[in-house]
Amino acid sequence: MKKYKVGFLIGRFQPFHKGHLHLIKRSFRYIDTMVIGVGSVGKVDKDNFLTYEQRKEILQKVIAKERWKDKIGKVVPLKDFYNDKLWLNNSVKLAGKIDLVIGNNEWTNRIFEAAGFPILRLGFYKRYLYEGIKIRKLMKAQQRWENRVPGYIIPLIHGCIAKLLNG
């Protein structure tokens, strides 16, 4: 596969986990730089317990720790629109010039593909362990979830959970 200049990775990162880390690392085989779009920024509920600001802070920690400051151009907030065209236009406007969309979400891929963007589907990494919904279930049940996220972001996530509980 040819190498692209700028890839666009979209995720909710609720929370960021080792599957995301694996996906980003693999993506750099196909792109020079990346823009990360953080989805569902206007939602905070049981499935979206981290705010955009918290997720951006976690991503910035990952970027610094992994030494990706030269590889990840920016992190952008993506609002939910219940109109695919509005969502696409907003996403592209915020991302800027992109050459490739990276991800496994077929709703997102379908929208970008219809607009003429190439899609890189790298598949899920150990989905039985690294899936946001499974990690959130463990958190709610107060079971061990920490081994499913990079160790250096555990304190940040614990802090976010504490803020949520203290309200």
Q: What is the DSSP letter of 127?
A: T
Q: Which of the pair, 63 or 164, is modelled with greater confidence?
A: 63
Instruction: Set out the domains of the chain in order of their start, with CATH numbers.
Output: 4-166 (3.40.50.620)
| Helix pair 52-65, 154-166: axis angle to 10 deg | 170
> Cβ neighbours of residue 71 under 8 Å, at least 6 residues apart?
28, 32, 33, 34
The pTM assigned to this predicted structure is 0.93
β-strand partners of 34: 7, 72
Residue range 51-85, pLDDT digits in tens: 999 999 999 999 999 999 999 999 999 999 889 99
Q: Helices marked H in 96-153 — which ranges?
A: 106-114, 132-140
Cβ burial 129-163 (10 Å sphere, 16+ → b, else e)? ebebeebbeebeeeeebeebbbeebeebbeebeee
CB 101: neighbour CB atoms within 10 A? Answer: 25
